[in-house]
Structure 1
Amino acid sequence: MSELNKEIPLIINGDANRFELHIDGHLAVIEYSMKGDVFVLLHTEVDKALEGRGIAAILTEKTFHHLESIGAKIIPLCPYIVGYLKKHPEWMRIVQNH
């Protein structure tokens, strides 16, 4: 785990239906909706000022750890999340009906 990963807390913003990282005054988010008790991951967005630092991967990893810790499952609709799961198949364990 990188130092950046350890230092930045994941913010669960239930009012906005998103997981957030706040870094140097900039925002990275994974937007979701709920299908019953399953998190449907819709969109990942990282502020342009943060691009190229692996922030989307850190956000995804932190989100997956959180969701696994609460026993949640996901439906990945976001293309970034789908690609991340292909590179990290160990996380398929939290995908609904996998």
Structure 2
Amino acid sequence: MKNTPYTLRHDAAARRYFFEIDGHRAYIEYEERPGALALTHTIVPEELRGGGIAAALTQAVLEEVRTRGLRVVPECSYVVRYIERHPGWQEVVAKE
């Protein structure tokens, strides 16, 4: 991912993409759909809030989804707002 010191990791068993930062885990949960991932929840521990972690994590997950040739179904309100503020990501949103 561009411009972040964090490494995106994937926990397939828990259906989460995450950053591990200072012993805390910020993550986005997903559900698999045909050809897409529904991004359902974004969680940033209180200790990490206010530092742009959610935005960096969302961008990293969207980049990973695009690299995998999938689409996203933004169900999490944070992801919905992120895509609204960064309309270039509309290209990876699944069409209904």
TM class, shorter-length? over 0.9
* Bigger share in helix: 1
2:44 equivalent to 1:62:
no
Q: 1:37 offset after TM fit, Å? A: 2.6
State how many pairs are aligned: 95
Question: Which consecutive aligned stretches of 4+ in structure 1 deviate over 3 angstroms post-superposition?
Answer: none
Helix, strand or coil for the counterpart of 1:27? strand
Q: TM-score, normalised by structure 1?
A: 0.92
Q: 1:9 offset after TM fit, Å? A: 0.8
Q: Which runs of 5+ in 1 are unaligned?
A: none
Q: 1:8 offset after TM fit, Å? A: 1.3
Code of the aligned partner of 1:74 = V
Please give the alpha-carbon distance, in whole angstroms, between the structure 2 residues aligned to 1:19 and 1:42. Answer: 11
Helix, strand or coil for the counterpart of 1:16? coil
Please give the alpha-carbon distance, in whole angstroms, between the structure 2 residues aligned to 1:66 and 1:38. Answer: 12
1:42 corresponds to which residue?
40
Q: TM-score, normalised by structure 2?
A: 0.94
1:53 corresponds to which residue?
51
Please give the alpha-carbon distance, in whole angstroms, between the structure 1 residues aligned to 2:92 and 2:73. Answer: 9
1:32-55 C-alpha deviation (Å, 9 max, x unpaired): 001123100100000100000000
Q: 1:70 offset after TM fit, Å? A: 1.0
Please give the alpha-carbon distance, in whole angstroms, between the structure 2 residues aligned to 1:66 and 1:14. Answer: 14
Please give the alpha-carbon distance, in whole angstroms, between the structure 2 residues aligned to 1:24 and 1:57. Answer: 18
